[in-house]
Amino acid sequence: MEQKHDRKGCQICGKLRAKYSCPKCHIAYCSLACYRDQRHSECTESFYQAQVADELKTRQADDDVKKKMHELLQQYHQGTLEDADSDEQEGEDIAERMEGLNLDNASVDDIWKRMSEDERQEFLKLVDQGDLANVLPAWVPWWQQSDKPGVVEVGQDDYQVTATIPEISECAVPVQSLAKKVHPSVLYQIAQLALAYAYMMRHLNGDSRGKNIADAFQDLVTVSPLLSSKEADIYTNAHEALVVGLCNIDEGMPCSKKCAMLDDVLSMYLGPRYIASMVSDTHALLGTLLAMPSVDRGHLKKAHIHRAERRVFFLLCVVLQMSTETEPWEFMAAEVAMLQRRFRSEDEASKQNPNREDAAADVKVPSI
């Protein structure tokens, strides 16, 4: 049962009626401003410190992130101090406070304890504004880089996570052993899968394994329900498959965002071997999820995962069997580009006439 507290008046400002109580010290307060008051700073700092720690764990607080935290401390002082003497003095101060701290195995709490009050407040401000991503490395999709095998190098000045092109699977079998005839709509299913994969990877900031694997599966089947449904949809053209996928993400998605997502799909089609890498990585993800103990899969049903794994395996076999062909993939790239141009036209029309309803939200799918 919830403990009862005196809510007659705020124990911080003493002016307004208290609506809340601190879960740690149980003091009654009336607003967020009072909660953050200096007189309540002990609880506030521990709360936001926990938020910083949780966020960094969620976003893979690895060695690079810890180094970036240290760099941010130096950048903070360089931006706030006026003269060179002060800069030098503060630089020495940081060095003294961080002396003996091994960033390879230091925890977020270790770094936090050595930060000054101003530095802590700067971090708390970032957390409060939902801007903590500024101190974390940006993830760059592998399909947006130049076509190089293995690791794709990214400039250190931009502080971005290195992207790795997934290896192409070698476990495929001849398509004829799986089906007597391949329906032409399989190409449209692959296009929708590319959209689902791009959405999943961006949503999870490139981390689709580990504790995120269940969310990764949910993202895939949200955009492309045919993966786990008993009855697979048969699309009549590429535009239909892509528009359905976009609507599954957000029916009210603005045209500009649709164009950005189609950029990802187009990049996969324009990059040699990228479609094969995308389908291979999706199949590997599903295989990993299928092999996990049921307790680690949470609410996900094994039958749904198995069905998705079988369907993606079929798509993988199709892609690898067509790997030496160029015409089908060029055709699909042209279809994606055509739909993207349509959305851009709709976006320009809506900007010129703001009162006009967004026609792209209710696209009539043209026949190919």
Lowest mean pLDDT among 18-22, 125-129, 278-282: 125-129
Lowest mean pLDDT among 17-26, 80-89, 205-214, 353-362: 80-89
More confident of the two residues 356 and 277: 277
pLDDT tens digits for 221-230?
999 998 988 7
**% of residues, the chain, pLDDT over 90:** 34
Lowest mean pLDDT among 44-48, 177-181, 332-336: 44-48
pLDDT tens digits for 68-86?
565 665 555 555 444 444 4
d(CA 84, CA 81) in angstroms, rounded, equals 8
Q: Is the pLDDT of residue 307 over 90?
A: yes
More confident of the two residues 61 and 49: 49
* Residue-level pLDDT at 154: 45
Lowest mean pLDDT among 128-137, 144-153, 278-287, 358-367: 358-367
pLDDT tens digits for 120-153?
777 777 666 655 555 555 678 999 875 444 444 4
More confident of the two residues 266 and 60: 266
pLDDT tens digits for 150-159?
444 444 444 4
More confident of the two residues 202 and 41: 202
Q: What is the 3-state secondary structure (H, E, C) of the chain?
A: CCCCCCCCCCCCCCCCCCCEECCCCCCEECCHHHHCCHHHHHHHHHHHHHHHHHHHHHCCCCHHHHHHHHHHHHHHHHHHCCCHHHHHHHHHHHHHHHCCCCCCCCCHHHHHHCCCHHHHHHHHHHHHCCCHHHHCCEECCHHHCCCCCCEECCCCCCCEECEECCCCCCCCCCHHHCCCCCCCCHHHHHHHHHHHHHHHHHHCCCCCCHHHHHHHHHHHHHHCHHHCCCCCCCCCCHHHHHHHHHHHHCCCCCHHHHHHHHHHHHHHHHCCCHHHHHHHHHHHHHHHHHHCCHHHHCCCCHHHHHHHHHHHHHHHHHHHHCCCCCHHHHHHHHHHHHHHHHHHHHHHHHHHCCCCCCHHHHCCCCCC
Average per-residue pLDDT for the chain? 77
Phi, psi (rounded to 5 degrees) for 160? -120, 150
Q: Is the pLDDT of residue 292 over 90?
A: yes
Determine the average pLDDT of the residues in 304-313: 95
* Residue-level pLDDT at 112: 74
- pLDDT tier at 25, thresholds 50, 70, 90: confident
